[in-house]
Amino acid sequence: MVQSLVQGIGVVVFFLIIWGLGTYMQYRYWNRVRKLIHELAKDHVGYLGTGMCQIKFSRKAFVVILTDESGVITKAYEIKTLSLRPSFVEMPGLSGIMVEYAYEHMPSLKYHGAFEQAISAIQRSRGIGIANSGVDEAQSV
């Protein structure tokens, strides 16, 4: 009886440790992403928008779009790695395009949700309202 109780508690403790490690690793991952975004925006003048959408069951697309003050995209990045050390990779073919036309130049349709959030955040920061819902982040840098 005591032995089965100890085994049961051991199993619960094991799963709590695994859950705690997973939570800690997610915290470290997103903290690193936040630092990378600040590094990208450090010397940038204009607007920054971020967006994230689900691509596959467990994979998410995270996009960062930087524009100048008139709404021309200067840089666009995505997280490419699935490791514990995220890094941003520049998305080709988007520099020099007005943010309103970015949908036409997306590298893949799977990024549509992420682009929608990032562009909406930039448009709101510029004072151009877009009726859109979702979680996004924008800031004038």
Q: Which domain, by its residues, includes 16?
A: 2-140
Tokens of 17: 């440790």
What is the rounded distance in angstroms from the CA atom of residue 70 to the CA atom of residue 42? 19
Domains in the chain: how many in total?
Answer: 1
Distant-in-sequence, close-in-space partners of 134: CB < 8 Å, separation ≥ 6? 51, 113, 116, 117, 120
pLDDT at residue 136, rounded to an integer: 45
Q: Is the pLDDT of residue 58 over 70?
A: no
What is the rounded distance in angstroms from the CA atom of residue 52 to the CA atom of residue 117? 7
Compute how many other C-beta atoms are within 10 angstroms of the C-beta atom of residue 128: 12
- pTM exceeding 0.85: no
DSSP code of 72?
A: B
What is the rounded distance in angstroms from the CA atom of residue 111 to the CA atom of residue 61? 7
Most confident of 51-60, 65-74, 102-111: 65-74
What is the rounded distance in angstroms from the CA atom of residue 37 to the CA atom of residue 34? 5
Compute how many other C-beta atoms are within 10 angstroms of the C-beta atom of residue 64: 24
pLDDT at residue 111, rounded to an integer: 83
Tokens of 98: 């007005």
What is the rounded distance in angstroms from the CA atom of residue 46 to the CA atom of residue 69? 5
